Amino acid sequence: MTISATATPPSLDRQMARSLALEAGFTEASLLALPAEDVESTDARFRDFIYTGYHGQMQYLARRNEHGHLVRGRVDRPFPWAQSVLLCMASYHGDAPHSIDPAPQDRGWIARYAWTARRDSDSGLRPSDYHKILLKRLRQVESTLKQHYGDFESRAFVDTGPLLERAAARAAGLGWVGKNTCLIHPTHGSWTFLAALVMELPASVESPLVIPDRCGSCTRCLDACPTGALIAPYQMDATRCIAYLTIEHRDAIDPALSAGMGRQVFGCDICQDVCPWNRKAPIARDEALQCREELVNPSLEWLAAMDESRFETLFNGSPIRRTGFWSMRRNVAIAMGNSGLAQFIPWLEHQADSPSATAAFRHAAQWALRRLRSRNKPA
């Protein structure tokens, strides 16, 4: 039974919603009343992003409704009953090196958000997927609200729903969207996950808590992006982003971008590593989102030695599994090519023409071989 259209529906207080989210384990939270004040401008920016093709192979972003409108552009398109959204934030800032810190040449980089693990009483740390961890917390908040207000329509999402989470979080007062297109919280920086609970409940919100843009004249993120994905302040061409290339892109990678990928084998942290707002962000103490130390600066040789069975065993329950075995192998080959180390040539030679490999992997291995051979010619 949903809230009656004829009765005066109860209103959800922002402070109550935030308190419930913090009790469930989130770092911060805020309530957004719908429609948001910037709904039209957000829709227009998203439409431009899709029309220019900057979403690449992420076709789910371009899904349209029966009227031909982009579903994600406005919350009321997929959820016409929605009157509020609870935006929840969870910090994953670990006490560990950054991708831009000095590291041995034979080491790769896995994005910080994918290091997560939880403590298992029997076997120590086990991989944890933040999607499942945060969804469970959202469900706890949702259940408590329904006990208090009665049944109402709702949907809980962690990166999986037709919702522009960063735009909604900005409108809810959880930060501003920086020049690197990441949401930046003034205390916790950008090392945060977002989760959203879309609700039929109206929100008792006196005024928006919008935090003004504090990027100022800083352009560190734009200057540091090695593939030129940040084409202008606040604008990203995802088809050039290393995170997109290593995770979402399944085909061969353009050689013009491969050199810029450096040692990244899953995701990329560079534009966040250089951001001044992350320098003083507190270390997260979330027991379900701890750091798997073996994933910090992982050995390329270790990653290359995995067969598909071992890959599944190590990364089952981890965000890393999303990239798939052969895409990870492709990324490792590119990182080897960028290492400059001749020690990787035999492995690449053995793998470059493997009949069981994907075309994308063979393309990457052959590119890496050419690069290493040119760098290691006899004097």
Tell me the average pLDDT across 30-45: 93
Instruction: Tell me the pairing of strands 154-157 and 176-177.
Output: unpaired
**Position 221 pLDDT exceeds 80:** yes
Q: Which stretches of the chain are DSSP H helices?
A: 14-23, 39-51, 130-149, 165-172, 220-224, 242-243, 255-258, 270-273, 300-304, 308-315, 325-339, 345-351, 359-375
198-212, 272-286, 347-361: lowest mean pLDDT where? Answer: 198-212
pLDDT band at 3, cuts 50/70/90? very low
Tell me the average pLDDT across 237-243: 98
Task: Give yes or no for a contact between 147 and 161, defined as CB atoms under 8 angstroms apart.
Answer: no
Residues 338 and 372: their CA atoms lie apart, in Å, by 8
**Position 230 pLDDT exceeds 80:** yes
pLDDT band at 207, cuts 50/70/90? low
Grouping H, G, I as helix, E, B as strand and the rest as coil, residue 155 is strand
Tell me the average pLDDT across 256-274: 98
pLDDT band at 4, cuts 50/70/90? very low
pLDDT band at 379, cuts 50/70/90? low
Residues 33 and 198: their CA atoms lie apart, in Å, by 10
177-191, 197-211, 265-279: lowest mean pLDDT where? Answer: 197-211
Residues 39 and 170: their CA atoms lie apart, in Å, by 12
Q: Which residue has the higher pLDDT, 285 or 143?
A: 143
Q: Which of 308, 312, 221, 315 is nearest to 268 (CA)?
A: 221
Burial of 28 (C-beta count, 10 Å sphere; 0-12/13-18/19+)? buried
Q: Which stretches of 113-164 are DSSP H helices?
A: 130-149
Phi and psi at 232, nearest 5°, equal -165, 165
Annotation marks residue 159 as catalytic: yes
Please state the domain extents for the chain.
Answer: 12-96+116-204
Instruction: Give the tens place of pLDDT for each residue, 50-67.
Output: 999 999 999 999 999 999
Polymer length of the chain: 379
Tell me the average pLDDT across 211-219: 97
Q: Which stretches of 99-201 are DSSP H helices?
A: 130-149, 165-172
* 189 beta partners: 185
DSSP 61: G
How confident is the prediction for the chain on average, in pLDDT?
Answer: 93
* 176 beta partners: 184
Instruction: Give the tens place of pLDDT for each residue, 136-182.
Output: 999 999 999 999 999 999 999 999 999 999 999 999 999 999 999 99
* 70 beta partners: 64
C-alpha to C-alpha distances, 36 to 26, 40, 42, 209, 273, nearest whole angstrom? 23, 9, 10, 12, 31
pLDDT at 205: 74
Q: Which of 328, 345, 337 is nearest to 367 (CA)?
A: 337
pLDDT band at 9, cuts 50/70/90? low
Q: Which of 43, 52, 56, 110 is nearest to 241 (CA)?
A: 56
Instruction: Give the tens place of pLDDT for each residue, 286-301.
Output: 989 989 999 999 999 9
CA quadruple 319, 219, 278, 159: dihedral sign: negative
| Residues 299-314 as b or e (16 or more Cβ within 10 Å = b) | ebbebbebeeeebeeb
pLDDT at 295: 96
**Position 6 pLDDT exceeds 50:** no
Residues 198 and 74: their CA atoms lie apart, in Å, by 12
Phi and psi at 8, nearest 5°, equal -75, 115
Catalytic residue among 38, 48, 101, 159: 159
Instruction: Tell me the pairing of strands 84-91 and 12-13.
Output: unpaired
pLDDT band at 307, cuts 50/70/90? very high
Task: Give yes or no for a contact between 33 and 49, defined as CB atoms under 8 angstroms apart.
Answer: no
| Residues 198-227 as b or e (16 or more Cβ within 10 Å = b) | bbbbbbbbeebebeeeebeebebbbebbbb
**Position 2 pLDDT exceeds 70:** no
Instruction: Give the tens place of pLDDT for each residue, 92-151.
Output: 998 999 999 999 999 999 999 999 988 776 667 788 899 999 999 999 999 999 999 999
C-alpha to C-alpha distances, 251 to 32, 56, 185, 245, 327, nearest whole angstrom? 39, 11, 35, 9, 8
